[in-house]
Amino acid sequence: MYAMINGTRTELPDGLDVLGLVRFAALSPDTVVVEVNGCIIERAGYDQTMLKNGDQVEIVSFVGGG
Amino acid sequence: MHISSHSDSRTNSDALVIGGVSLTSRLFTGTGKYASDAFIPRVLEASGSEVITVALRRVDLTTQTDTVTRHIPEHMRLLPNTSGARTAEEAVRIARLAKAMGCGNWVKIEVIADNTYLLPDGYETIKATEILAADGFVVLPYVNADLMIARSLVKAGAAAVMPLGAPIGSNRGLQTKEMIRILIEEIPLPIIVDAGIGKPSQACEAMEMGAAACLVNTAIATATDPVAMAHAFGEAVRAGRRAFLAGQAPVSAGRASASSPLTGFLFDS
Amino acid sequence: MGFADVLDRIERRNFSEKMENYTEDQVRRALGRERCDQEDFLALLSPAARPWLEEIAVRAQDISVRNFGRTMHLFTPMYLSNYCSNGCVYCGFACSNQIVRKQLSLEEVAQEAGCIAATGLRHILILTGEAPRMASLNYLESCCRILQQHFSSIAIEIYALDTPGYQRLVAAGVDGLTIYQETYNQDLYATLHPFGPKRDFHFRLDAPERGCRAGMRMVSLGALFGLDDWRWDSLCTGLHAAWLQEQYPEVEVSVALPRMRPHAGSYSPAWDVSDVDFVQILLALRLFLPRCGISISTRERAWFRDKLISLGVTRMSAGVSTAVGGHGDTDAGTGQFAISDERSVAEMAAAIMGQGYQPVYQDWRDIRP
């Protein structure tokens, strides 16, 4: 399946949950926040949130800023 | 000499209290524009700052990037900003994402639709403040030094007001000094001068006027020696605050002239 | 409601003694600051400020000119009715005083208005005693309809109303409310008002705020100096004005400084307010409230009023009669108080211009409907 991750169409394995996606992107869960189709996903629920074909996903983290 | 205020456990009678948190240092710092993020912990130690801003951006999935929080000591209070937001709605979204990071519920609202001067949109900021304050955030809105906007922010539930001294990154000092003075007099919230402070003397001046704190990013991050500059800023903010607490000296005694043209009539026989 | 909470936090007992403790250092500090706070205000009102009156006056004049320019607004009071059910011991109109009671008919109102407008004045202050049945809201609304044809600003100095009452008058064209607490000493207030609706201290205290909520553009406060320690009543008047300015920044707040004068009835004031005392009140208020209007009535002598022009006064009455129908009617009857400055509008204007100030008959007209 595919999903829009941070605005980029990305091919993903079927049956992937958010925790899997974060690991897939080589990220550490406690340094990011994930939003799927406009809803912020609680970290505790990462492994229960399945991704579907066409989902809009945003993965954000803190960066330098004033 | 390094000053580490985070290990200072003496009670502080001049603490700055925001959102129920008691702060000893009245210098807030930022994490932007550093040549290297490795400067950040040394800057914090040199300045004594306890509050640091960060921004929120999409993770770059193609490269391994370091997250800035790795360089921020645990005891620091994080102040995520909503930079990138052009409307209240976008600011609210960013604030919620930042809160979901689990590093606290403070947010600096920064709503800027002007890319030339990076001046904030007061109206959208007020709207975002109202929504987020009601949602339990500790809201520190960044705005122009405008009394009407500030009054609306008080009503909207802001925890402080952060007027700009001059446009972001300009290092031009307290161009809005008179307006900031009015805010300090009229607004019953901490006034934190944010943006435009280029020199420690300007931060000192803001504190002498009665500002509650100063937020300095560019002037420290882009200095030739950021750590030394951070130390200077820490001292300047402390000096300014002490001067403010010490109060003004009275006018000099003695009158210049013996005649009383305005009130003499009261004493003429 | 609001100001009562502020008033409750200051103590009248031992106040007069505490004022003796203020020092010249504190007065100098007040003079050196950009903005005066409550402590500075008290220092300026204290005996310690006496030797510094000239310096304070210089500061007051500077603040006044910068905030108001060299202008003086002129107005006159029009007494519509002296029927009164209060027994205020210090007032010529008190219920128990045997004076001729009169209320202007609408024709007389029109005639009086015409006489006043002919002098060039465009701001009118209408007064009544406490007589809601005689000088009713209906009557006042009818008077306003007539007065609107002659004047661009109508202020009222009448019995205290509730908010809906003020709203009705605002809708009828009233844009200013003048109401004096007389004294902010609650215990003394009770003895000065033995009977009548005005006896309710807090209802009166909250009236200016109700006026603001009802949409009054201007609100004028004051105390009748001489009833109690003038330092106490000056402090409270200043705090009341400051509080209103803060709560209702869109309202133009001003203070008046009526000083006890001879009147029908036998009350003589407990406290003396000398000319020097009076000027000290004026100057301290000006420094504490840089943007507050200050009004002086014709209770004060002509030459004294002239000296006050350059000290921060912004409004003065002229061509005054305190009798009902006094402007038109040659048989007007007893006035509320004795007038010391009987000059006409033209004479006042000349005196003001003689001081280098401009007499203003009409303020900028509001375009709000």
- A7 and B CB contact within 8 Å: yes
- pLDDT at position B253, please? 46
The stretch B134-144 carries a mean pLDDT of 97
- pLDDT at position C314, please? 95
Local structure of residue C9 (DSSP, 8 states)? T
Residue A50 counted as domain residue: yes
The contact set of B with C (CB < 8 A) is 151, 181, 185-186, 248-251, 253, 255, 260-267
Please give, rounded to a whole number of angstroms, the shortest distance from the CA of A63 to a CA of chain B: 5
- As for the ipTM of the complex, it is 0.91
CA neighbor of B32 nearest in space, from B71, B61, B74, B85: B71
**Paired tokens of B90:** 């976008």
Residue C37 counted as domain residue: no
The contact set of B with A (CB < 8 A) is 30-34, 37, 53-59, 61, 64, 67-70, 78, 80-81, 83, 96-98, 100-103, 168, 195, 215, 217-218
Bridge-partner residues for B162, per DSSP? B142
- pLDDT at position B3, please? 38
DSSP string, B212-255: SEEEESHHHHTSSSHHHHHHHHHHHHHHHHHHHHH-PPPPPSS-
* Whole-number Å distance between alpha carbons of C199 and C195: 6
- pLDDT at position C206, please? 97
* Whole-number Å distance between alpha carbons of C219 and C207: 10
Going from the first residue of chain A to its last (66 residues), give the mean pLDDT of each consecutive group of 10, the final group possibly shorter. Answer: 90 91 90 94 93 94 90
Question: Cβ–Cβ of B263/C32 closer than 8 Å?
Answer: no
- Contact predicate C88/C337, CB 8 Å: no
| Domain ranges, residue C97 | 3-10+70-360
Alpha-carbon dihedral sign for residues C184, C189, C193, C197: positive
Residue C22 counted as domain residue: no
* Whole-number Å distance between alpha carbons of C299 and C77: 13
Q: Where are the domains of chain B?
A: 5-58+66-246
The stretch B76-82 carries a mean pLDDT of 97
Question: Which CATH number covers residue C187?
Answer: 3.20.20.70
**Paired tokens of C286:** 């000006």
Question: Cβ–Cβ of A64/B101 closer than 8 Å?
Answer: no
**Is the pLDDT confidence value at B12 over 90?**
no
- pLDDT at position B2, please? 37
A27 contacts on B by Cβ (under 8 Å): 59
- Contact predicate C240/C193, CB 8 Å: no
- pLDDT at position B228, please? 97
- pLDDT at position B4, please? 39
Question: Cβ–Cβ of C28/B253 closer than 8 Å?
Answer: yes
- Contact predicate B95/B132, CB 8 Å: yes
Q: How far is C-alpha C278 from the chain's CA centre?
A: 14
Residue C26 counted as domain residue: no
- Contact predicate B12/B22, CB 8 Å: yes
- Contact predicate C195/C87, CB 8 Å: yes
| Domain ranges, residue A21 | 2-60
Question: What distance separates the 2 farthest-apart alpha carbons in chain C?
Answer: 60
- pLDDT at position C330, please? 55
Question: Which CATH number covers residue A52?
Answer: 3.10.20.30
Residue C367 counted as domain residue: no
Chain C adjacent subunits, 3+ CB pairs under 8 A: B
- pLDDT at position C93, please? 83
Please give, rounded to a whole number of angstroms, the shortest distance from the CA of C312 to a CA of chain B: 11
B5-58+66-246, superfamily in CATH? Answer: Aldolase class I (3.20.20.70)
The mean of the pLDDT values for chain B is 90
Note the pLDDT tens digit of each residue in B248-262: 665 554 455 567 888
Band the pLDDT of B86: cuts 50, 70, 90.
very high
* Whole-number Å distance between alpha carbons of C182 and C198: 11
B96 contacts on A by Cβ (under 8 Å): 40
Strands A39-41 and A33-36: antiparallel
- Contact predicate C191/C157, CB 8 Å: no
Q: How many CB pairs under 8 A join A and B?
A: 92
Write out residues in chain C with pLDDT < 50, as ranges. Answer: none
DSSP string, chain B: ----GGG--S--TT-EEETTEEES--EEE--SS-S-TTHHHHHHHHH---EEEEEEEE--SSS----GGGGS-TTSEEEEB-TT--SHHHHHHHHHHHHHTTS-SEEEE--B--TTT--B-HHHHHHHHHHHHHTT-EEEEEE-S-HHHHHHHHHHT-S-BEE-SSSTT-----TTHHHHHHHHHH-SS-BEEES---SHHHHHHHHHHT-SEEEESHHHHTSSSHHHHHHHHHHHHHHHHHHHHH-PPPPPSS-S-S--TTTGGGT--
C-alpha distances (whole Å) from B205 to each of B15, B211, B230, B238, B242 are 19, 9, 17, 11, 11
- If one counts the domains in chain C, the total is 1
Residue C365 counted as domain residue: no
CB neighbours of residue A47 within 10 Å: 12
Q: How far is C-alpha A21 from the chain's CA centre?
A: 6
Please give, rounded to a whole number of angstroms, the shortest distance from the CA of B112 to a CA of chain C: 29
Residue A24 counted as domain residue: yes
Residue A34 counted as domain residue: yes
- Contact predicate B177/B159, CB 8 Å: no
- If one counts the domains in chain A, the total is 1
CA neighbor of B126 nearest in space, from B79, B99, B94, B161: B161
**A and B touching (3 or more beta-carbon pairs closer than 8 Å):** yes
* Whole-number Å distance between alpha carbons of B81 and B30: 10
Chain B adjacent subunits, 3+ CB pairs under 8 A: A, C
